[in-house]
Amino acid sequence: MQMLETEVLVVGGGATGTGCALDLAMRGIRTILVEKGDLTHGTTGRYHGLLHSGGRYVAKDQQSATECARENAVLRRIIPHCIEDTSGFFVITPWDDPNYGDRFLAGCHQTGVPVSEIPVAEMLRREPVLNPRISRAFEVPDASADSFLATHTVALAARNYGADILTYHSLVEIIRDGDRVVGAVVEDLRSGERKRISCAVLLNAAGAWAGKIAGLAGVTVTVVPGKGTMVAMNHRMVNTVVNRCKLPSDGDIIVPIHTVAVIGTTDVHVPDPDVYGIEPDEVSFMLEEGEKLVPGFKQYRALRAWAGVRPLYKDQDVASDRDIPRTYKLLDHEARDGVAGIFSIVGGKWTTFRLMAEEAVNEIAHRLGNTKPCRTADEVLPPPNFEHRSYPAPGGAAGHRTDHYWLGKHLAAVEAEHAYGDLICECELVTRERMLAAINSGASNLDDVRRDVRMGMGPCQGGWCIYRTTALLYEQRAEPDGVSRQQALADGAGGNADRPNAHFSIQNANAALLHFLQERWKGMSPVLWGDQMRQARLDELIYVGVMGVQRLRPLAEQGGGLVTDRPEVATEYVKA
Amino acid sequence: MIDHIELSLTQSLDHCIKCNICTAACPVAAVTDKFPGPKYVGPQAQRFRHDRQPSPDSSVDYCSGCRVCNQVCPTGVRIAELNARARGQIVAERGMPLRNRLIARSELIGRLSCGPHAPLVNFGLSFKPARWLIDLVMKIHRDAPLPRASTYSFRSWFKRRRRTADRRPSAVSPSSEKRQVVYFHGCSTNYYEPRVGKAAVAVLERNGFEVILAEQNCCGLPLISNGDFATARKYHEANVRKLLPYVRQGIPVVGTSTSCTLTLKEEAPEILGLTSDDVLAVAKGTYDIFEFLRELAERDELNTEFRPLERELPYHPPCQYRAHRLGRPVLDVLSLVPGLKLMESRADCCGIAGTYGLKTEKYQIAMDVGAGLFEFVRGSGAELALCDSETCRWQITHATGVPSQHPIEILAEAYGIER
Amino acid sequence: MNYDTIVIGAGIAGLMAALGRAERGERVLVLAKGHGTTHWASGCIDLLDAGDDPLGAVERLAAERPDHPYALAGAAALERGLERLRAACEAAGYPLVGSPRRTLLLPTAMGALRPTVLVPATMAAGESRQLADGRPTLIAGLRELRDFYPPMIAANLRAQGFAVDGVYLRLPPTDRSKEFGPMIYARLFEREEFRAEIGRQLAEHVRRGGYARVGLPAVLGLRRASEVVRDLQDRAGALIFEIPTLPTSVPGARLFHALEEALRAAGGRLQIGSFVQRGEASDQETGEGAVLVAVYSEAAAREQRHGARRWVLATGGVAGGGLRAEHTGELRETALGLPVRAPASRAEWLAPRFLAEGGHPVFSAGIAVDAALRPLDAAGRVVYSNVAVVGGALAGFDPIREGCLEGVAVATGYAAGQL
């Protein structure tokens, strides 16, 4: 078994885990991060993409509200390419308590959430499809965020500072020496190889899985996975985040993120963060709620539905699940449970990931005798290489560039480069160059590529690009001269260990295609009607009718460094 | 007007299933790299456009609006209209070059050119050095088919022959025996080809209609195509005011220019977002002349006393018929004329697309798009070509040397109406 | 205008039905919203995915499943329909080869082998028996065509035991540099100098590798594919075969064109871009269901009325747009509002696995018919006595999963054409 040694082992490759790895690495602490799937496999990759202003929490969870308000400004500064400044409205519909408006205003003032009331006419001018029966509207600095891109950005920075980020490494055992955690055994799902990592501190940043991980160390952390279902609508009928102005509940927000508008969400407690499905009545409920904000909402085309699980940490002294706050907590298991060498950072939300990391790392650094201060709030992070460095600015003046995300960014870039003939994913305007960069940044299946560059996330849900990307994946990974390809991959992956360690065969490529086709189907099925059903049938004509992919099932095998057939990383596990 | 599946113009992008049938059929994408294709600039790019952010793209400007894409789209995406809106948005942000502002003002140019001085204007515009200079300065291609102004306007002709009669709309008696129809002449008939209007009036009168010359202005289509929506709205609203009294009395508005009638029927209301009852009433009351005559034929009310015309002529249905979505009314009606054989052009587009092919940067694209049609016309060996749209006629004649007429003129001939 | 027969839907089924009736002297019009499935599918004629003798399998299927479209049309209609289709393709200079008694296995653009029956001659040299003859095969493509990847295709074929290599050719110089969709290539291949350069490169590969045949993406010409392939074969010194790939399908467009030409030659009319949105029944009650007298297609500012004595509905199921699912769980037939036979509830529409055996039940939904292809309601009564339903619009089968999409279209279309 390969033996690795580090100071801190971070478990969990979501926003929190990578944020911790960055902070640790920046302070010069040797860090290894392990994540059983791709980065953002967990909650980070499955939410609606909201950068909270804090407005949602001003009535019932004021600490969260204040944290969000502060971190909102920080994230805009350090990862601008991940944030779109959509702004946000909180609106009082005829179904909401009209008195809540003043309570909302007061709450914002108390918690430091910037707010201003705008005339309803102004709201309608900016968002003409909103319900004209809305009586009041408040504007807050909500924004939409690309959490995949953000996590990759943070991970890249962590790597640049010397951290090792190991994806598709599943934690199988935590090693204790008496009452002290001294290391862990992980399995590389791409090859089956096991590695032993010894560490001074294990930081459990596994989000909704924190309870499972803690359990491996023999401590009890109660995490109630709160499933939230969301639906992506084909185009942005609103360009501003729109919230129902009331006590937070289900289906009360529409987030415009990239090219889609996401309506969310529900809150159903599930026993296992790896196993859950999407119920039809969740979907129809959300569409009904959408009607209240946008009359005619149900007529818009729905692209797919998915769910993530919130990491709701139930403290020992909380009586009922309903009272679980959304703020975060750092658990020092030595103090709490008598087991040293292990911390858990639990709860929280995406918007506060950096702050969570700061608090966790402050404590851990102190324990390790490291006195360097936290600088994560100050340093602007560069984008990964499958993302544009900067893009033509809104306004399109030649030579003028910007670091921020804006909706027209990819279109402007493709136009500026006259790259329309080179689009591999046409719906999301992904050029061959970006697709290859994504494939070569260590993708272990096509879903990873999707998370990098949105391949397959547009209206056709991969009808064309799944085929093309599979071919490119095959070409990149399987050259006659296997060694040189490995080398090139190693260079592209930043000199890190994210390399497939087996020769890549066509069988592996076929498995990647079938796996991703099933992934897309999983999300389309709950919302399949109207135009999207016709789309799905066309996709079926392409893959079954023209390409005959079902005949390649006997020629599909997991391997070649890909992960396409492991239950550890699939929810509602159904083989393609 | 709106089918039960479609909801709104922007929303029609939701129908797109990314199949690229439109791109495969697009005559402009087939001849130039500058146009990435209707799917790309239409429903695909629309998802990246934000109505409060500057337009991220420019290649949509190369859409000619021929609507082959709409015609072949399996799901009913209003691609050409999405493109027109996008172009309008770009103009609203970046302004309109002087050249576009000028050529979009058909009525102004017509009024200035038409009259006794017309031969001078026509000479000037056919004088090579002058055209070379205009190309350089204004970017209107030196070879672009500019029309020849008439020495008299259609309206002046019509008024002269009716001068003695009292024909103001308010004086129309409801018990009048003759059915009435308003003739919408448009700029081209008025200032360049009054003979088309004369033929139309004669045909309508031969069918027992009294033709009313209503107050009217330019339909505004060149303004819409060039993206000046603000001015186009003014034009259209003015036309609606002028035509509404007739339409409300059940008097149809009939036109020979397929682009003008399309603008009144659908293009102005849809692209400019005008949805008042008055606008819709005028739309509903507007007919292409052959559409109108075909309906008469379907009710057995068409005068079918035709002289046989032993002729075989090439006919090109203009692109606007795709947007009218009425099939081929010219073929249906002219098939009733004994001896007359029309050879239908199967070409998609003549290329001119209104003012598109006049522009220096687009002239060659337009000529390449129309190449198939020109070959067909030349190859027919006929001495005359037929097309309902004036700009198409000018393009066809320019490219092939074959004279062209509006099919209404042939119909007039079949009725034995002297020119 | 009034017709003897109006066909709604311009796919293979609709065009076959229209052709049959036009050739029997009827005045026929085909109305269609746009292009569709024919322009997406492989361009081959699939009969049934069931072993070596497809016609035998069809006969057995018809005996086992009396509601299946093959049972309704009959094997004789299938065979005669296939002959008629072959003749139409032959007349267009685009022969189909194969026999209904013999399954052909052709490589796909993934490198899988797909069963089919009639294929364009331009694809025939890629049949699996030939690939297995021991002589090596080359798959060649152009990087600029994003829809075809020789290394992957070759690798999958090698994994199935064939001697196949994959290579990218260099794009010959053209005046285009950016956008290269399948239709652009189809036209480029019809240019001699483009073919000459490709041929030179192929000849070099053939010489070095001793290849007996070369597989290229199915973009080898639109109207002159046979000539293009012959020329390439001469230049390359090896057999050439096409491999269909992602839509838009050039071979599909060729099939459509061949049928369109045959229809026009028989005097039939085609009106694309007109979406039929409702029907009009006569007042009279006959013993056997209502009589459809007219349909209305969506037009600018109004509807266009089309009258006919008899009708064929060929709108194609969910893929074709003839059936539409609402979020409420209802499945609607979009042209005439006919009753739809569908799974009892939305919960039964879809299987959890995308590639589930037998497919997804919702895609077998459609219109139930009697032996004369007349639409039935839930109680089994004839809805319209003068309407025949053909092709994908029919209930009780999944054309994609069963591998019978074109076969059913041909059989039922032909059968309706003879009614």
- Written as one string, the DSSP assignment of B202-245 is HHHHHTTEEEE--------HHHHHHT-HHHHHHHHHHHHHHHHH
Burial C272-297 (b: 16+ CB within 10 A, else e): bbbbbbbbebeeeeeeebbbbbbbbb
Amino acid C7 reads V
Q: Is A41 exposed, middle or buried (0-12, 13-18, 19+ CB in 10 A)?
A: buried
Q: How far is A536 from chain C (nearest CA, A)?
A: 9
- Pair of tokens at residue A483: 């060694």
H/E segment holding residue C325: strand C323-325
Write down the pLDDT at residue A162. 97
Alpha-carbon distance values, A210 to A44, A171, A314, A419, C292 (Å): 14, 12, 12, 44, 66
The residue of C146, C158, C245, C340 whose CB has the most chain A CBs within 10 angstroms, and thus the best one to mutate to test that interface, is: C146
Average pLDDT for residues C232-261, to the nearest whole number? 98
Kindly state whether residue B266 falls inside one of the protein's structural domains.
yes
DSSP codes, C243-275: E--SSSPHHHHHHHHHHHHHHHHTT-EEEET--
Write down the pLDDT at residue A574. 54
Of A407, A418, A538, the CB nearest to B17: A538
Boundaries of CATH 3.50.50.60 in chain A?
2-43+148-222+322-368
* Contact (CB, 8 A) for C359 and C404: no
Q: Which domains occur in chain C, in start order?
A: 2-93+253-333+365-393+402-418 (3.50.50.60), 109-243 (3.40.50.10660)
Q: Give the start-end residues of each E strand in A154-210.
A: 164-167, 169-177, 180-188, 194-198, 201-204
Q: What is the CATH number of the domain that holds B368?
A: 3.40.50
Tens digit of each residue's pLDDT (9 = 90 or more) over B25-55 = 999 999 999 999 999 999 999 999 998 888 9
Same domain, B243 and B163: yes
* pLDDT of residue B80 exceeding 50: yes
* pLDDT of residue B164 exceeding 70: no
Contacts of C397 (CB under 8 A, 6+ apart): C68, C69, C364, C366, C404, C408
- Residue ranges in C102-163 assigned as alpha helix (H): 128-131, 150-159
In the DSSP assignment, the letter for residue C392 is G
For residue B181, give the 3-state DSSP assignment. strand
Kindly state whether residue B319 falls inside one of the protein's structural domains.
yes
A514/C355 CB distance under 8 A: yes
Residue A385: pLDDT band with limits 50, 70, 90 = confident
* pLDDT of residue C78 exceeding 50: yes
* Distance between CA atoms of residues B30 and B52, nearest Å: 33
Contacts of B340 (CB under 8 A, 6+ apart): B308, B309, B310, B311, B313, B334, B410, B414
Write down the pLDDT at residue B170. 47
Task: Output the CA angle C301-B218-B26, nearest 5 degrees.
Answer: 60
Same domain, B264 and B351: no
* Distance between CA atoms of residues A240 and A127, nearest Å: 8
Kindly state whether residue B419 falls inside one of the protein's structural domains.
no
Average pLDDT for residues C97-123, to the nearest whole number? 98
Same domain, B264 and B158: yes
Same domain, B80 and B122: no
The average confidence (pLDDT) of chain B is 92
CATH topology of domain A64-142+225-308: D-Amino Acid Oxidase; Chain A, domain 2 (3.30.9)
Q: How far is C144 from chain B (nearest CA, A)?
A: 13
* Contact (CB, 8 A) for C46 and C38: no
Tens digit of each residue's pLDDT (9 = 90 or more) over B282-320 = 999 999 999 999 999 999 999 999 999 999 999 999 999
Query: Does C265 touch chain B if contact means CB atoms closer than 8 Å?
Result: no
* Distance between CA atoms of residues B301 and A559, nearest Å: 76
A546/C41 CB distance under 8 A: yes
Kindly state whether residue B347 falls inside one of the protein's structural domains.
yes
Task: Region of C122 please: left (phi>0), alpha (psi -120 to 50) or beta.
Answer: alpha
Same domain, B161 and B258: yes
- Does a cis peptide bond (omega within 30 degrees of 0) precede residue C248? yes
In the DSSP assignment, the letter for residue B253 is E
**Yes or no: domain A2-43+148-222+322-368 corresponds to CATH 3.40.640.10:** no
* Contact (CB, 8 A) for A261 and A232: yes
* Distance between CA atoms of residues A97 and A95, nearest Å: 7
- Pair of tokens at residue B121: 């204007």
* Contact (CB, 8 A) for C69 and C402: no
C151/A546 CB distance under 8 A: no
Of A415, A420, A534, the CB nearest to B56: A415
Average pLDDT for residues B121-127, to the nearest whole number? 93
Residue C68: pLDDT band with limits 50, 70, 90 = very high
The fraction of chain C above a pLDDT of 90, given in percent, is 94
Strand partners, C261: none
* Contact (CB, 8 A) for B384 and B315: no
Which chains sit next to C, with 3 or more Cβ pairs under 8 A? A, B
Nearest to B94 by CA among B60, B63, B58, B64: B58
In the DSSP assignment, the letter for residue A407 is T
Nearest to A243 by CA among A54, A46, A47, A43: A54
For the CA atoms of C316, C317, C321, C327, the dihedral, rounded to the nearest 10 degrees, stands at: 170
Kindly state whether residue B149 falls inside one of the protein's structural domains.
no
Kindly state whether residue B147 falls inside one of the protein's structural domains.
no
Tens digit of each residue's pLDDT (9 = 90 or more) over A556-565 = 999 999 999 8
* Contact (CB, 8 A) for C102 and C117: yes
Name the domain boundary from B297, B317, B339: B297
Of B11, B17, B44, the CB nearest to A535: B17
* pLDDT of residue A326 exceeding 80: no
Same domain, B342 and B410: yes
Same domain, B205 and B271: yes
* Distance between CA atoms of residues A6 and A126, nearest Å: 52
Same domain, B44 and B106: no
Write down the pLDDT at residue B163. 65
Q: How far is C300 from chain B (nearest CA, A)?
A: 5
Residues of chain C contacting A432 with CB distance shorter than 8 Å: 146
Average pLDDT for residues C232-259, to the nearest whole number? 98
The average confidence (pLDDT) of chain A is 91
Secondary-structure percent of chain A, ordered helix, strand, coil, rounded to 5: 40, 20, 40
Same domain, B316 and B199: no
* Distance between CA atoms of residues A301 and B10, nearest Å: 12
Kindly state whether residue B1 falls inside one of the protein's structural domains.
no
B1/C302 CB distance under 8 A: yes
A546/C42 CB distance under 8 A: yes
Q: What is the CATH number of the domain that holds B160?
A: 1.20.1050
How many angstroms from the chain centroid is the CA of residue A270?
Answer: 20
Amino acid B114 reads C
H/E segment holding residue A3: strand A2-5
Q: Which residue of B has its CA nearest to C302?
A: B1
Average pLDDT for residues B170-182, to the nearest whole number? 67
Kindly state whether residue B4 falls inside one of the protein's structural domains.
no
C34/B71 CB distance under 8 A: yes
Domain with B221 in it: 154-297
Question: What are the φ and ψ backbone dihedral angles of A273, each rounded to 5 degrees?
Answer: -70, -10
The count of structural domains within chain B is: 4
Same domain, B357 and B283: no
C108/A420 CB distance under 8 A: no
* pLDDT of residue B181 exceeding 70: yes
**Distance from first CA to last CA of chain B, Å, rounded?**
38
Amino acid A383 reads P
Q: Is C185 exposed, middle or buried (0-12, 13-18, 19+ CB in 10 A)?
A: buried
| Residue whose token pair is 């329909």 | C81
* Contact (CB, 8 A) for C43 and C250: yes
Q: Which residue of A has its CA nearest to B19?
A: A538
Name the domain boundary from B244, B265, B297: B297
Residue A21: pLDDT band with limits 50, 70, 90 = very high
* pLDDT of residue A333 exceeding 90: yes
Nearest to C394 by CA among A286, B317, A430, C415: C415
For residue A140, give the 3-state DSSP assignment. strand
Tens digit of each residue's pLDDT (9 = 90 or more) over A177-219 = 999 999 999 999 999 999 999 999 999 999 999 999 999 999 9
Tens digit of each residue's pLDDT (9 = 90 or more) over A245-301 = 998 888 999 999 999 999 999 988 898 898 888 988 999 999 999 999 999 999 999
Residue B396: pLDDT band with limits 50, 70, 90 = very high
* Distance between CA atoms of residues C65 and B65, nearest Å: 49
Write down the pLDDT at residue A412. 92
Q: How far is C145 from chain A (nearest CA, A)?
A: 9
Which chains sit next to B, with 3 or more Cβ pairs under 8 A? A, C
In the DSSP assignment, the letter for residue C375 is B
**Distance from first CA to last CA of chain A, Å, rounded?**
32
* Distance between CA atoms of residues A10 and B411, nearest Å: 85
Same domain, B347 and B271: no
C residues 32-51 lying closer than 8 A (beta carbon) to B? 33-36, 39-40
- Does a cis peptide bond (omega within 30 degrees of 0) precede residue C108? no
Query: Does A420 touch chain B if contact means CB atoms closer than 8 Å?
Result: yes
Write down the pLDDT at residue B345. 94
Same domain, B44 and B57: yes
Q: Tell me what ipTM this predicted complex has.
A: 0.98
Tens digit of each residue's pLDDT (9 = 90 or more) over B340-376 = 999 999 999 999 999 999 999 999 999 999 999 999 9
Number of C-alpha atoms within 13 angstroms, CB side, residue C407? Answer: 37
Boundaries of CATH 3.30.9.10 in chain A?
64-142+225-308
Of A396, A407, A415, the CB nearest to B50: A407
Average pLDDT for residues C39-57, to the nearest whole number? 96
Q: Which residue of B has its CA nearest to A299?
A: B7
